[in-house]
Structure 1
Amino acid sequence: MKLIKLDAIDSTNEFLKGLSNKQEVQNFTVVTAENQLKGKGQMGAKWDSESGKNLIMSVLVKNFLFDNETVFNLNVVVSLAVVRTLKKYNIPEVSVKWPNDIMSANKKIGGILIENSIKGTGAITSIVGLGLNVNQVQFENLPRASSLALVCNSFFDKEEILFDIVTQMEQMVADYDKKASDLWEEYTNELFKIGVPTAFTDENENNFMGIIKGVSSIGKLQILLDDDSICEYNLKEVQMLY
C-alpha cells in the first residue's frame, strides 16, 4: 500500500483520478487529506468535514471489477472493510445504510463514494472515496451526523484506522472469488434496518411501509411490501424515512 498525504485538496477522489490518468499508479494506492475543500457524497451531495479531525481518503482499486454487472461487489467489500474495522474499535451498533452510508445506531458516521471508469481495454478502474467522522464533535445543522469520538466519548488515531480499513479491503479483494457468497451474506446481515418494518418514500413521494430483505447482485435494494411481493429499487427510486 502506497500512502500519499496531503494537507488540503479539493477532492481526494479527483486527485487520485487525475494521477491515475497521467501515470501508472500502484493498486491500493491511498490518498488522504487533512482538509477537503470540495468533498462530495452520493448524487453530488456536499461532504463537510472539520479540518484535521476526520478520515478523508481515496483508494485506487484495479483488477477486481471486469463488467458493469459486478460493480456492486466493490461496495460490498468496502462497506465490510469499514464495518469490520469499526467493530474492532468497539464502535456501537455499526451498520451499512444502503447503499453507502456508515451508521452507528441511527446516526451517520461515514459515507462511501465509489467512482468507476472503463479503460480502453475494457478493464474497470475504481476510485473508492471514504469520509469517516472520527474526532469531530460538533455538527451544525446536521442532526443525524455523529462521529467515533461522540459515540465512544474517546478520541482515535485516524491513520491507524486507515491502515486497518485498507488491509481489510486488500484481503477481501484477494479472497473474493473463494468467499463471495460469505461476504454477501455478511454484508446483508450488516444492513441498517434489515428485517425491520420501516417507512419509505418513492420517487413520486408516495410513502409506504416495507421490510428490507437484502440487495440484488447489481446493487438494487430489495424491499418486502405489504402484498408479500419483493420490489427492487435503484438509488434514486426510494428513500428511507427514519
Structure 2
Amino acid sequence: MKEHSIKLSILKSLSQGGFHSGEDLGEKFGISRAAISKHIKGIQAWGVDVFRVQGKGYQLANPMQLLNQDIIQAQTNNHVELIPIIDSTNQYLLDNINRLNSGSVCLSEYQLKGRGRRGREWISPFGTNLYLSMYWRLDAGMAAAMGLSLVVGVAIVEALEQLNLKEVKLKWPNDLYYQDRKLAGILVEMSGQAGGAANLVIGMGLNLMMTEQTEGITQPWASLCEVAGHQDIDRNQLAITMIKTLNRALLDYEQQGMQGFVDRWNRLDNFIHRPVKLIMGQREIIGVSRGINEQGAVLLETECGIETFIGGEISLRPHR
C-alpha cells in the first residue's frame, strides 16, 4: 500500500474537481513535477482517464467519488476494510479467515488480479465500479451452501431496487443482467471439512461507470449509470445498502435454505419463459427456461419435458 500512497493522494486531490497543476501537486506532496508526471502515468495504468492541458494542469476526464471507509463503517454492523489497491478482495478474505468474524467485508477501488468464475480475469478499473467481498461462516456445512450464488444475486438486485434502480435481472447461476448485457458477476469460494462449518467468501464485481474504452472484456456489458438514467450514483451509499441487504439475505438463507428464494429468484430471472441454450462441456441442450427449483437447479422445458440441470460448469446463453 505504501508504494501507492502518493498516487492515491493525487487521485484524492483530482477527485475534488477542476485542474491541478503539476507544480501545485508537487509542492503539496513534497515531490518534483517530473515525479508527479510519473505518478499520473501510473494512475492512468489503473484505468483512470486523466488529461493534461498546457498552462492549467491535470484533470479527471470524468468525476470520481472515492469510497470512504469511515462513512461505510458508521452505517453498517459488519466489520469493513477498505484497501484501495489489492490483488483480489476475495483472496484477501480467504487469506485472513482465521482472524475474521462472520460478515466481515473487504472493499477495493482497484484489483490487480480480480477474478471471475472458472478462473477468468475480472477487469477492475480504478474507482468506477464496486468490488466487494464478504466472509460468511455457514455452520450447516459445505453441502448447505449449494445455490448460494443465486441467493447473493437476489440480494444484490433487491439492494438496487431499494435505491430505485429497477429493471436489473438475474442470469443463472451467478450474473446480473441489464437489457441482456452483463452488469455484475458473483464468485462464491469456500473451504471447510466434512462435518464442519463452511467458510464462504462471496465476491461481487458491479459495473458502475465503465467507459467504452475499457479493454479486455469479451462480452456485451452494461453499467449501473445506464440503469440510473446517467444520474450520479453515491458509491458509499451503494456499498452500505449492498452490505446490509446481503447480510439479511444470508441470515434468511440460514433459516429457510433455497426454499425462501425460489419465488424471489424467478421474479428476477432474465431468461424465464425464453428459448435458451444450455452448455454443459461439449453438450448443448435447447429448450425454454422455466426458472429454478428449491435445489437451485435451472429448469429447462425440452422435448423430453421439464428437466433440471445443476453444476459449476453450466452456462446459459440465449438461443438465437
In the superposition, the TM-score normalised over structure 1's length comes to 0.87
Distance change in 2, residues 1:109/1:64 (3 Å): farther
Q: How does 1:9-48 map to 2 (within 5 A)?
A: 9-21=86-98, 23=99, 25-48=100-123
- Which residues in structure 2 correspond to 1:158-237 (within 5 Å)? 158-176=235-253, 177=255, 181-204=259-282, 206=284, 208-237=285-314
CA distance in 2, matches of 1:235, 1:120: 20
Question: How many residues end up aligned between the 2 structures?
Answer: 238
Q: 1:144 pairs with 211, 217, 220, which one?
A: 220
Q: C-alpha root-mean-square deviation of aligned residues, in Å?
A: 2.3
User: 1:62 is paired with a residue of what secondary structure?
Assistant: strand
SS at match of 2:313: helix
The structure richer in strand per residue is 1
| Structure of higher CA gyration radius | 2
Is the 8 Å Cα contact of residues 39 and 46 (structure 1) preserved in structure 2?
yes
Percent of residue pairs bearing the same amino acid type: 25
Q: The residue matched to 1:188 in structure 2 has which SS?
A: helix
Residue 80 of structure 1 and its aligned partner are, at CA, apart by: 1.4
Judge which range, 216-225 or 147-156, deviates more: 216-225
Which has the larger displacement, 55-64 or 11-20?
Answer: 55-64
Provide the C-alpha distance between the structure 1 equivalents of 2:95 and 2:281, rounded to a whole number of angstroms: 34
Q: Give the whole-Å Cα distance in 2 for the aligned partners of 1:183 and 1:75.
A: 11
TM-superposed CA distance for 1:134, in Å, is: 1.2
Pairing 1:83–2:160 present: no
Q: Are 2:185 and 1:116 aligned?
A: no
| Structure 1 alignment gaps of length 5 or more | none
Q: Which runs of 4+ in 1 moved over 6 A?
A: none
Mapped contact 1:71–1:218 kept (Cα < 8 A): no
Amino acid at match of 1:84: E
What is aligned with 2:148?
74
Amino acid at match of 2:220: R
Alpha-carbon offset, residue 156 of structure 1: 1.1
8 Å contact 2:171–2:316 — kept in the other structure?
A: no
Inter-partner Cα distance in structure 2 for 1:100 and 1:195 = 19
Alignment partner, residue 178 of structure 2: 104
**Residue aligned with 1:137, SS:** coil
